Structure 1
Amino acid sequence: MIKIIVCFILIFLLKDVYAEKRPEPPLVCGDFLAQIGLGRPDVQFFNCKIGSEDGGALEWLEAEYRVSGKDAVHVENWLARTANTSHLKFACCNWETNQKSIRGRGSDWYVVEMHSGETEIDRRKYFSKIPFMYLTVRHYTRTP
């Protein structure tokens, strides 16, 4: 009987040792690029927000950055190298890349994309006339 009790106590005490450890997401919104060592002077952090959809099944923290139009090509190329995003493409009324994931420290993942706001500028050579483009970095804190 004592052996059984000892076994249950050991199982109870060791369950966390063998349990799968999940990466801890950032607990607060902030400058994720700086936090994971990818901050750049031409990418200016300006906001972070909390979002969700599907009744809370998906939840995330999303950092927002501004990129001056004159720096857009440099940041676009860096993003393509770092996250393997597509280059900016004009569709209808704005410029955008596809979304791609980058690995943070440990096993955290972030979804990144770059886009302009609505603009009539449809030629790359005129990027400098676009006041700002935007880079978003999203970290999911809950997924189904």
Structure 2
Amino acid sequence: MNVTIVILCHGTWGKSLVRDYQTYFGSSCQFKVFPLEAETEKKMYKDKVDNYIKNNPNSILICDLFGSTTFQTALKIALNKKLPAYSNLSLELLISLTNIISDNTEFSEIKRLLRTDKEIKNKDLVTLYKKYMNGDS
């Protein structure tokens, strides 16, 4: 399986979360963390993530904060590349995603299952954005 969970977060806490997740729960999943530092320019950050995705098209994006630079970056890439993307990075979300990924080998099947999982579906970036733009809560 060649699926990567790509994490976009403010600061380095995403790296710590992945390290702790792997230590306590173990995982054969691949992770790539893109920490957004205070001095990082928005365009440079987006380009860095976008370049990674070009070489790793079977990626699932997770950002930490709705509406933020990490969210906007993940949203643009998800819409352009038609990739699954989620908000509200958490241990619970990582566990849910890795359970689906580890049980399936085809990226198309993983994407289908992610669209039907109730808990994961509620964190879908594109859906959250559309609800926000329509004034729904």
TM-score bin, normalised by smaller chain: under 0.3
**TM-score using structure 1 length:** 0.26
Normalising by the residue count of structure 2, what TM-score does the alignment of the two structures yield? 0.27
Richer in strand (by share): 1
Point out the structure with max Rg over C-alpha: 1
